[in-house]
Each structure stands twice: as structure tokens, then as C-alpha cells.
């Protein structure tokens, strides 16, 4: 066998060991709290220096460990831990490194619930969250303080898809003695290798592409060797566990991740290109488009793009906007993304603390699913045509409501 396997091969062969499970191809669903030992000697032998109760369902079962091992390998980190949702992975990974009196830096384009957690919940523990412009690069040094414990990155940013110069930010953060944590959900570990770019802890909302079928909520945090003891201690102390069925769904989803992502990427770029030429579309936010301000960074650091991007429509009334959204046949209206099905999400103006993101028209987030790309192009075109027809019949609809 070749010593270094391609990523898509690794994700088919990792996290399973048929010889240990009666030849079953997939790691079975283990249910259980108690794990019995046969002898006192076996019981004592399970104890680890940092965990005297290593065999107990709360610390995971073979099903849990299969997923953790597979994701750690994909991300290129040391070890992983699963959490009951993507947000739980973000917040608990943050809590595992910060202490009272610390200062934390987050990008202005960070995922909204992570922003809320940092501003409200961390503040209750005397931890100060400050935001920085997503495009800050090495300029982050001006915001680093003696008590900065953590610099959080997320690229592209949620909702508006700004890219970040992660290696430049990580270099400055490490010089100042801070950890670097990344939300790597958009690219997945297949299209961005966080630990090769200076990240210490990488978080996945596995709910999205890893699970891939919109049927389970799950998060995974992966640490390098240096940050692992903190992450493990923080996570174990909170006592969260995840049902084995959801973990099984994530393991199953990952087996097809590379095929699915290729099509999400391809279709997403096709839709974004068509939309960028449409007269009702004011702006497309997608780092894989050559004209996108983040394109050069995406090309330098990323190995691919997912199917999630956003558009800003020309200003129109909410009635005309409804004409567009309600006319869509193949795109569902809903939260989350990363499943096989296409989605649109009408978004409000982005919340920003330090780098205003002015929008005049409606922002719409689009997730390109696995339907035929020509069908999706046609669906968006006919819905935009419907909005044009509404505007022609009632020109006052063009005025932003
Ligand atoms: C969805 C999402 C999360 C949270 O995942 P949940 O499983 O819904 O809690 C975190 N970060 C990003 C970038 C997301 O898109």
C-alpha cells in the first residue's frame, strides 16, 4: 500500500476496524454507560494518569472514538472530541482555553451565535471579547494584548464570506502567546488544512457537510498536541455526550464527503457565476469567483470551495422579494446547510462592531445542493424573472421597503 494516501482514500478507510467488530464493514452503534471489566487487574489497567475512569460511556464508546479518530486524521490534528452540536463545539472549545481576566479576539464576520456567546456569556465570566476586521492580516498585532489568550478565526466569514489571512494572523497571535482557534465548517478538513496554517484548535459543525443529509446535529473539535490537554479537560468536565446513532450518521456521511463536496463546489460556482451576471443581483459573495476580494487568499490556502455563498439583490420592496423567494421550486427556505438539498436563507443586515458592511438590498444565503446544476440555474432564473415581472407590473416595488 502507498504510505501516503490521498485524502479521499483516507476518509474511506479511517475510523473503522472490521476485525474488531465481527467483520462488520462499519463500526457498529455501541450503546452503553457501564463497561465491565473481567478482573481487578483489567479494571486497574484501564486507568490513565489524567483519567481514572477511562472506561465509561461518558468518555465515549468505540463508535465515538471511530469518529474522533477519523476527523482528527482528516483535519491533520492530534486528537478530536465530539460535541452535541456545532455551536457546542465552538463554545466549549473556547471555554476550554480561556480564564477569568482574559481577552479574546474574534473576526467581525464570525458566526452569529458564536458572537453572542462571546459578547454575553464570556462577559459573565469576566472574559472580554473584542472584534477585529476580517481582513486585518498581520495587523492583528495592534489588537493583541498581554492578556489575549485566544484569537478566533473563521474563513470565509458567516453570511458575508470574507476571507482571512490565517497564517499571518496565527503568526502574530503565537508571538503574543495566544492560541488560535478556527471554525473550519465551510471548507471542511478536505478543503482547508488548519494545522498546516497555524491553527491550534479546529472546530467543525459536523451538522453541515460531514453529516451531509440534514438528519443529525453534531460538532467536532480537534486540537494539536499542545492544546489537546486543555480541550480534553474542558470538554470532559462539562460532561456532554452524544447519542451513538448521530455519530453513526456522521461516520456514514463522511464516507461520501469528497464526492459530495466536489459537486457542491462545482454547482455553487455555476450558480454564483450566473447570479453575478444577473441585473437584479447587486453583488455575489463567493471567494472562488475571480472578482471576489478574498479570491487570492482562497486560491493560496484552500484546496476547494463548498456550496455555500451569498448574494445581495438590487433594492426592492419586500413584496417583490417575496415574488422571488416564493417562486423558487427546488430551493427550500431554511436554516443550516451542507445537506444534499438546496436552500435559501433570507438574511438581515450583517451585525458588525468594527468593520461596517453596508448593504442596500436584501441579502440571501444560498446553499447549492446535489441536484443537477442546470435544474438549479433554471430555478433561480425563473424566480428572478418572476421578481422582474412583479417590478414591471408595480414599479413602486423597486423602492426598498
Ligand atoms: C451551523 C454553524 C455552526 C453551528 O452548528 P450547529 O450544529 O447548528 O450548532 C457553527 N459554525 C458555523 C460556521 C456554522 O455554519
Mutate to test the pocket of ligand 1, among 86, 158, 186 (most ligand atoms within 8 A of CB): 86
Q: How far does the centroid of ligand 1 lie from the alpha carbon of residue 213, in Å?
A: 15
Q: What average pLDDT does range 276-298 have in this prediction?
A: 98
pLDDT at 18: 96
Percentages of the chain per state (helix, strand, coil), in multiples of 5: 40, 15, 45
pLDDT tens-digit series, residues 36-47? 999 999 998 888
**Residue 336 buriedness (CB in 10 A; 0-12 / 13-18 / 19+):** middle
Question: Residue 153: helix, strand or coil by DSSP?
Answer: strand
What band does 104 get if pLDDT is binned at 50, 70 and 90? very high
Q: What average pLDDT does range 278-298 have in this prediction?
A: 98
What percentage of residues in the chain have a pLDDT greater than 70?
Answer: 98
**132 with 166: CB under 8 angstroms?**
no
pLDDT at 46: 87
pLDDT at 399: 67
Query: Is a pLDDT exceeding 80 seen at residue 11?
Result: yes
pLDDT tens-digit series, residues 26-35? 999 999 999 9
Q: What average pLDDT does range 158-182 have in this prediction?
A: 98
The candidate with the shortest Cα–Cα distance to 209, out of 264, 161, 147, is 264
pLDDT at 70: 97
pLDDT at 355: 95
Higher pLDDT, 55 or 401: 55
Average pLDDT of the chain to the nearest whole number? 95
String of b and e for 83-105 (b: at least 16 CB within 10 Å)? bbbbbbbbbbbbbbbbeeebbbb
Antiparallel, parallel or unpaired: β 79-83 and 219-223: antiparallel
pLDDT at 1: 55
CATH topology classification for 257-397: 3.90.1150
**pTM (2 d.p.):** 0.96
Question: Residue 107: helix, strand or coil by DSSP?
Answer: strand
pLDDT at 51: 65
**80 with 198: CB under 8 angstroms?**
no
Mutate to test the pocket of ligand 1, among 160, 185, 253, 367 (most ligand atoms within 8 A of CB): 185
Query: Is a pLDDT exceeding 70 seen at residue 50?
Result: no
Q: Say if ligand 1 is within 6 A of residue 205 CB.
A: yes
Q: What average pLDDT does range 374-401 have in this prediction?
A: 88
The domain locations on the chain are: 7-30+61-254, 257-397
**268 with 342: CB under 8 angstroms?**
no
- Write the CB contacts of 123 (distance below 8 Å, at least 6 apart in sequence): 129
Q: How far does the centroid of ligand 1 lie from the alpha carbon of residue 107, in Å?
A: 16
Q: How far does the centroid of ligand 1 lie from the alpha carbon of residue 92, in Å?
A: 13
pLDDT tens-digit series, residues 210-260? 999 999 999 999 999 999 999 999 999 999 999 999 999 999 999 999 999
Question: Residue 46: helix, strand or coil by DSSP?
Answer: coil
Query: Is a pLDDT exceeding 70 seen at residue 395?
Result: yes
Q: Say if ligand 1 is within 6 A of residue 294 CB.
A: no
7-30+61-254 belongs to CATH 3.90.1150.10: no
What band does 401 get if pLDDT is binned at 50, 70 and 90? very low
**Residue 306 buriedness (CB in 10 A; 0-12 / 13-18 / 19+):** buried
What band does 400 get if pLDDT is binned at 50, 70 and 90? low
What band does 393 get if pLDDT is binned at 50, 70 and 90? confident
Residue 238: φ, ψ to 5°: -80, -15
Which of the residues 30, 79, 108, 111 is marked catalytic? Answer: 111
What percentage of residues in the chain have a pLDDT greater than 90?
Answer: 91
Strand partners, 346: 364
Euclidean distance between the first and the last CA atom of the chain, given in angstroms as a whole number: 63
**Length of the chain in terms of residues written:** 401
pLDDT at 210: 98
What band does 48 get if pLDDT is binned at 50, 70 and 90? confident
Amino acid at each position: 500500500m502507498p504510505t501516503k494516501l490521498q485524502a479521499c482514500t483516507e476518509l474511506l478507510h479511517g475510523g473503522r476496524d472490521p476485525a474488531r467488530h465481527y467483520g462488520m464493514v462499519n463500526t457498529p452503534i455501541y450503546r452503553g454507560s457501564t463497561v465491565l471489566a473481567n478482573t481487578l487487574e483489567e479494571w486497574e489497567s484501564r486507568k490513565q494518569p489524567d483519567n481514572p475512569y477511562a472506561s465509561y460511556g461518558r468518555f465515549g464508546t468505540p463508535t465515538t472514538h471511530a469518529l474522533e479518530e477519523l476527523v482528527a486524521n482528516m483535519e491533520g490534528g492530534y486528537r478530536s472530541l465530539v460535541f452535541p452540536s456545532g455551536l457546542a463545539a465552538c463554545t466549549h472549545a473556547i471555554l476550554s482555553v480561556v480564564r477569568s481576566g482574559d481577552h479574546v479576539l474574534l473576526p467581525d464576520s464570525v458566526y452569529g451565535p458564536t458572537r453572542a456567546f462571546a459578547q454575553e456569556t464570556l462577559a459573565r465570566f469576566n472574559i472580554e471579547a473584542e472584534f477585529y476586521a476580517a481582513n486585518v492580516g498581520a495587523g492583528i498585532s495592534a489588537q493583541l494584548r498581554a492578556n489575549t489568550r485566544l484569537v478566533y478565526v473563521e474563513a470565509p466569514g458567516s453570511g458575508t464570506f470574507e476571507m482571512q489571512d490565517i497564517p499571518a494572523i496565527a503568526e502574530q497571535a503565537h508571538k503574543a502567546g495566544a492560541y488560535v482557534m478556527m471554525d473550519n465548517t465551510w471548507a471542511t478538513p478536505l478543503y482547508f488544512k488548519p494545522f498546516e496554517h497555524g491553527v491550534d484548535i479546529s472546530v467543525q459543525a459536523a451538522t453541515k457537510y460531514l453529516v451531509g443529509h440534514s438528519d443529525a446535529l453534531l460538532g467536532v473539535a480537534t486540537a494539536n498536541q499542545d492544546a489537546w490537554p486543555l480541550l480534553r479537560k474542558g470538554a470532559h468536565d462539562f460532561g456532554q455526550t452524544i447519542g451513538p446513532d448521530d455519530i453513526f450518521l456522521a461516520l456514514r456521511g463522511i464516507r461520501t464527503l469528497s464526492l459530495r463536496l466536489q459537486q457542491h463546489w462545482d454547482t455553487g460556482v455555476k450558480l454564483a457565476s450566473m447570479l453575478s451576471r444577473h441585473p437584479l443581483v447587486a453583488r455575489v459573495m463567493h471567494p472562488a469567483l475571480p472578482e471576489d476580494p478574498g479570491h487570492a487568499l482562497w486560491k493560496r490556502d484552500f484546496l476547494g470551495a463548498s456550496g455555500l455563498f451569498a448574494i445581495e439583490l438590487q433594492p426592492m420592496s419586500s413584496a417583490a422579494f417575496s415574488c422571488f423567494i416564493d417562486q423558487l421550486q427546488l430551493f427550500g427556505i431554511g436554516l443550516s446547510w451542507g445537506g444534499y438539498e438546496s436552500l435559501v436563507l433570507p438574511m438581515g443586515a450583517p451585525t458588525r462592531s468594527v468593520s461596517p458592511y453596508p448593504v442596500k438590498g436584501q441579502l440571501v444565503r444560498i446553499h447549492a445542493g446535489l441536484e443537477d446544476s442546470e435544474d438549479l440555474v433554471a430555478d433561480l432564473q425563473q424566480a428572478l424573472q418572476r421578481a422582474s415581472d412583479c417590478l414591471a407590473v408595480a414599479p413602486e416595488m423597486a423602492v426598498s421597503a
